[in-house]
């Protein structure tokens, strides 16, 4: 049973941000401190990647664990309307896969960074995440067209 009214729940959900989220800001600040320069939310690319290295044709997505169905404690399905949420998250995952394929067809590589890797009890050391992004950015091998870690 939901503790909020339908109107309150709708209002709360309308305030969920899709860009400039806390995990995204944490990563951007760390990358900038490491001397990496990037573009944000490239409108001309499929899926509007959160961070883009145009000269390297490398796109980074910072995914929320719940919204993109990551296999971690942050992605716990709500008890209220579980079938609705399962369908919504599955649709997001299908869209993510399509976005990866479209980027690859355009000659771009993509990397997913998960919310749980950037904050919370199970977060990775920020240096590790920055190293991963840096290695991805610097990789030129066509065999590593898309990196996806969980």
What ranges do the domains of the chain cover? 18-148
Q: Which CATH superfamily is domain 18-148 in?
A: VSR Endonuclease (3.40.960.10)
Contacts of 90 (CB under 8 A, 6+ apart): 69
The tokens of 26 are what? Answer: 């944490």
- The answer to whether residues 48 and 60 touch, using CB atoms and an 8 Å cutoff, is no
Q: 8 falls in which pLDDT band (50, 70, 90)?
A: confident
- pLDDT tens string 124-134: 999 999 999 99
What tokens does 140 get? 């030129």
Model confidence at 93: pLDDT above 60:
yes
DSSP-assigned letter for residue 136: H
Bridge partners (DSSP) of residue 146 are: 110
Could you tell me if 119 and 23 are in contact, meaning their C-beta atoms sit under 8 angstroms apart?
A: yes
Distance CA 57, CA 22 (A): 25
For 74, which DSSP code? G
């Amino acid at each position: 049973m939901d503790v909020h009214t339908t109107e309150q729940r709708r209002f709360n959900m309308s305030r969920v941000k899709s860009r400039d989220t806390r995990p995204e800001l944490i990563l951007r600040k760390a990358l900038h401190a490491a001397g990496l320069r990037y573009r944000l939310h490239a409108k001309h690319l499929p899926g509007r990647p959160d961070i883009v290295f145009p000269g390297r044709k490398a796109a980074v997505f910072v995914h929320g664990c719940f919204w993109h169905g990551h296999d971690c404690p942050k992605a716990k399905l709500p008890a209220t309307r579980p079938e609705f949420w399962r369908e919504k998250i599955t649709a997001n995952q299908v869209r993510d896969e399509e976005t990866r394929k479209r980027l690859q067809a355009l000659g771009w590589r993509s990397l997913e960074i998960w919310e749980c890797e950037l904050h919370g009890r199970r977060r990775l050391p920020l240096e590790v995440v920055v190293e991963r992004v840096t290695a991805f950015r610097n990789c030129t091998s066509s065999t590593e067209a898309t990196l996806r870690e969980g």
